[in-house]
Amino acid sequence: MQGPDKIRHGARSPKSATIEPSLIFFLTDPATGYMLADNNRHAKAGKQEHTMDELRKFVAPEFIFGPGALASTGSYAKQFAAEKVMLVTDEGVLSAGWAQKVAASLEKEGLATEIYSNVSPNPRDHEVMEGAETFLKTGCDLMVAVGGGSPIDCAKGIGIVSSNEQHILEFEGVDRVPVPGPPLICVPTTAGSSADISQFSIICDSRRRVKVAIISKSLVPDLSLIDPGTTTTLPPKLTAETGMDALVHAIEAYVSNASSPITDINGIKAVSLIRNHLEPALNHPLEMDHRSAMMLASLLAGLAFSNASLGLVHAMAHSLGGRYDLSHGESNAILLEPVVDFNFDHARGKYSDLALAMGLEPFQDPKETRQRLVETLAGFRERVGITTRLSHLGISKEELPALADFAMTDPCIVTNPVMPTKKEIEELYAKAF
Ligand SMILES: [Fe+2]
């Protein structure tokens, strides 16, 4: 176990200090680092095939799943030899009382805690920089993030800024984090962003008004304490939006060009769990069976997308979210159907599996599968209460070329089953108006 000074400067446990840049995602594309499947082969076959003799890696943090997991934060923080903890959270989580429960667990172990809660729903670059300054100034040596994707992504950013002494935006892209941050324990309170599982951090560049994706093995938290009870206080709108985000994670990872048999098992199971439990979780918010099932779905979807990456829905949603400061889950939900319709013929077999997981019967005609799958996703979205279109969110059609331009540069687009043109992306946005 290392002393606090070493931890603060990023030289943490051997498992996380050893970064293997060339192996992230088992990527072979030198420009992006992703190991991409052969699109031509897939297009001919009408599906994405896996062979079991391909070399694969799967990155995941240690996690504890179950009711009461939150209460062990203090004892786990002690195991990292922490002396002073920065607890990163936001106002909503403070109002619900979960951050205070985590703080009490830390206090019980005699750990001093500095709370940082200046975190927006789409965390900003300057919030990360301010958090890093506070982390260093107050002599913290470990971070605990309590909340949904925003506090967790912000905490990841604070960690790598404090260990590298660089601006957060300098890490944009794949594998651009030289030194890992201090130890990070996550307590997710949504189901979910899966930021507590993933090697992603999404931060808003407030000057350019775009969301940048930072993807690195260094961003995988050290430990996630996944306590489904924390989701019982979620407002219905957040339950629906975060649940739809998890559904899009699972679907995009499943059809991703970097998917593998291991990510597939997690992705497809997540889809069926969300199909069966998201509506009941909304209708019976205090029933733990549904909350636990949704938390499990979020975990599985996170394991899938952290290793297979995402696709065009996320690339387009990141572009929208940065410019208009929209809800991430709502943007994804609105964009999912046009993107599935567009992608379908480039991963027919995979989308047919997803149709079954969404409760459809198998159809002989792929065109019928495509149409019924898109209709089913639309019905599901509406039943969970997301009925907005982009036109309701104050988006101007004149902005579509700029939105498409930025979506083309998002790292998530690289693993979409087919690379769209800028004009095709504009048309997809237009379909969501
Ligand atoms: Fe997402």
Decide: 381 and 325 in contact? Cβ < 8 Å. Answer: no
Distance from the CA of 329 to the center of ligand 1, in angstroms? 7
Distance from the CA of 246 to the center of ligand 1, in angstroms? 7
Edge to edge, what strands does the sheet with 184-188 contain? Answer: 62-65, 223-226, 184-188, 142-147, 84-88, 112-116
For residue 323, what pLDDT is reported? 87
pLDDT band at 310 (very low <50, low <70, confident <90, very high): very high
Three-state DSSP class for residue 215 = strand
Within 359-412, residue ranges assigned H as helices are 366-383, 400-409
pLDDT digits (tens, 9 = 90+) for 215-240: 999 999 999 999 999 999 999 999 99
For residue 275, what pLDDT is reported? 98
Q: Chain-wide mean pLDDT for the chain? A: 89
- Non-local (6+) Cβ contacts of 2 within 8 A are 11, 12, 13, 81
For residue 298, what pLDDT is reported? 97
- Cis peptide leading into 192, omega within 30 of 0? yes
Query: Which phi-psi region, left, alpha or beta, contains residue 81 (left: φ > 0; alpha: ψ -120 to 50)?
Result: left
Greatest CA span in the chain, whole angstroms?
A: 64
Distance from the CA of 82 to the center of ligand 1, in angstroms? 31
Distance from the CA of 126 to the center of ligand 1, in angstroms? 22
The count of other CB atoms within 10 Å of the CB of residue 35 is 21
Decide: 407 and 374 in contact? Cβ < 8 Å. Answer: no
Quick one: average pLDDT of 368-382? 98
Decide: 310 and 256 in contact? Cβ < 8 Å. Answer: yes
Distance from the CA of 334 to the center of ligand 1, in angstroms? 13
Res. 28: pLDDT tops 90:
no
| Domains of the chain, first to last | 45-58+235-431 (1.20.1090.10), 66-231 (3.40.50.1970)
Distance from the CA of 144 to the center of ligand 1, in angstroms? 21
Distance from the CA of 355 to the center of ligand 1, in angstroms? 21
For residue 49, what pLDDT is reported? 59
- Non-local (6+) Cβ contacts of 307 within 8 A are 25, 57, 58, 59, 60, 253, 258, 260, 262, 263
Res. 20: pLDDT tops 70:
no
Amino acid at 279: E
pLDDT digits (tens, 9 = 90+) for 133-170: 999 999 999 999 999 999 999 999 999 999 999 999 99
For residue 412, what pLDDT is reported? 92
Distance from the CA of 108 to the center of ligand 1, in angstroms? 34
For residue 15, what pLDDT is reported? 31
Distance from the CA of 149 to the center of ligand 1, in angstroms? 9
For residue 53, what pLDDT is reported? 65
Distance from the CA of 302 to the center of ligand 1, in angstroms? 9
pLDDT digits (tens, 9 = 90+) for 84-141: 999 999 999 999 999 999 999 999 999 999 999 999 998 999 999 999 999 999 999 9
Distance from the CA of 95 to the center of ligand 1, in angstroms? 24
Distance from the CA of 75 to the center of ligand 1, in angstroms? 30
